[in-house]
A and B are shown apart, each in its own frame.
Chain A
Amino acid sequence: MAIISDGNADQVRTFFAEHVQEPVTVELFTQKRSLLTIPGQQECEYCEETESLLNEVVALSPNLSLAVHDLRADPHAGEADGITAEMVPSFVLHGQDRGKIRFLGIPAGYEFSTLIQDIASVSTGTTSLTPATRDALAQLPGDVHIRVFVTPT
Chain B
Amino acid sequence: MAVESVRVTADVIEANEFPGLSDRYQVSGVPKIVINDKVELLGAQPEKRFLAAVIEATQERVDQ
Contacts and interface: CB of A to CB of B under 8 A. Distances in A.
Q: Answer whether A and B are interacting partners.
A: yes
Interface of A: 45-46, 82, 86-87, 96-108, 111, 114, 118, 121-122, 125-127, 129-130, 133-134, 136-138, 140-152
21 contacts: A87-B18, A98-B4, A99-B2, A101-B12, A102-B11, A105-B18, A122-B3, A127-B3, A137-B7, A138-B5, A143-B7, A144-B5, A144-B35, A145-B9, A146-B8, A146-B10, A147-B13, A147-B35, A148-B11, A149-B25, A150-B14
A46 to B, nearest CB: 6
Contacts of A138: 4-5
Interface of B: 1-18, 20-22, 25, 27, 30-37, 47-48, 51, 54-55, 57-59, 61-62
B62 A99 contact: no
B14 A127 contact: no
Given A121-B3, A145-B9, A151 B36 contact: no
Contacts of A150: 12-15, 30-31
A144 B9 contact: yes
B33 A146 contact: yes
Contacts of A143: 7-9, 36, 58, 61
A121 B2 CA distance: 10
Contacts of B37: 145
A136 B13 contact: no
Given A144-B35, A149-B22, A99 B15 contact: no
A147 B17 contact: no
A134 B6 CA distance: 12
